[in-house]
Amino acid sequence: MQDLEQVFEQMGFINSKTLLASGNVLFDSIEKNEELLKKEIQEALQKQFGFSIPVVLRTKEEIVQLVKKRPFQYEVIENGMRLQITFFDKKVTGDFPIHEKGFTLFALGERELGSVIQPEGKTTELMTFIDKTFGKNSTTRNWNTLQKLTKI
C-alpha cells in the first residue's frame, strides 16, 4: 500500500493516502475530468507495477451521498451476512434485484450495485457473477470500509 501511495504522490496528487489493505487511495486533485484522471493513473500504475490495473474513481462527495442513502437499512442482517457495494466505470443496466444462490444484487445508482451475501454465500461466486454479467471493470468494497472512507 505504501508503494501505491507513492505513485499518487509522484503524480502530484495532494493529500494521498491509502485506507487499509483495500486498494483504496484517497487524494485531492485539481483535475476534474474523470476520464483523463483515470487514464493518467492507469498509465502510472502500469509503469510502476508492470501490469494493467483497472481504475474506478469516485469523489468523496459521491461516497458520502451513497453512505447517506443507507442502502441496507431495510435488510434484516443475520450473523455471517456480508454487505458490499460494487463500483463500475460505466453505467450498469439490468433487471434488479437479482437473486442468485447465496446473494442478492440491487441497483444503487447508474454505476453502483449493492449486494447482500448470505452466510452460506461465497464472495468469489458474487465476483464471478458480476464479472460475467457486467464486465470486469469494477471494484467491490465492504460496506464497513465505505463508512470509514466518509470519516477521513
Closest by Cα among 12, 39, 42 to 27:
12
Q: Is residue 54 part of a domain?
A: no
- The reply to whether 42 and 114 lie within a common domain is no
Q: What pLDDT, on the 0 to 100 scale, is given for residue 148?
A: 85
Average pLDDT along the chain: 92
d(CA 2, CA 133): 33
Residues 65, 41, single domain; the answer is no
What is the number of other CB atoms lying within 10 angstroms of the CB of residue 116? 24
Instruction: Give the chain's domain count.
Output: 2
- Say what the pTM is: 0.89
User: What pLDDT does residue 75 have?
Assistant: 85
Domain span at residue 16?
A: 2-49
Q: Are residues 77 and 124 in the same domain?
A: yes
| Same structural domain, 87 and 135 | yes
- Residues 126-148: what's their mean pLDDT? 92
> Is the pLDDT confidence value at 21 over 80?
no
Same-domain check for residues 41 and 68: no
Q: Is residue 55 part of a domain?
A: no
Last residue of a domain, one of 12, 29, 49: 49
pLDDT tens for 22-79 read: 788 989 998 889 999 999 999 999 999 999 988 999 998 999 999 999 999 988 888 9
| 92 plus 142 within the same structural domain | yes
User: Starting at the edge strand that comes first in sequence, how are the strands of the sheet with 112-117 ordered?
Assistant: 98-100, 103-107, 112-117, 82-88, 138-142
Cell 443496466 belongs to residue: 93
Mean pLDDT score, 75-101: 93
Instruction: Report pLDDT for 103.
Output: 97
HSE-up of residue 56 (Cα within 13 Å, Cβ side) = 20
Q: Is pLDDT of 150 > 90?
A: no
Q: Let me know whether 78 and 116 are in one domain.
A: yes
Are 42 and 78 within one domain?
Answer: no
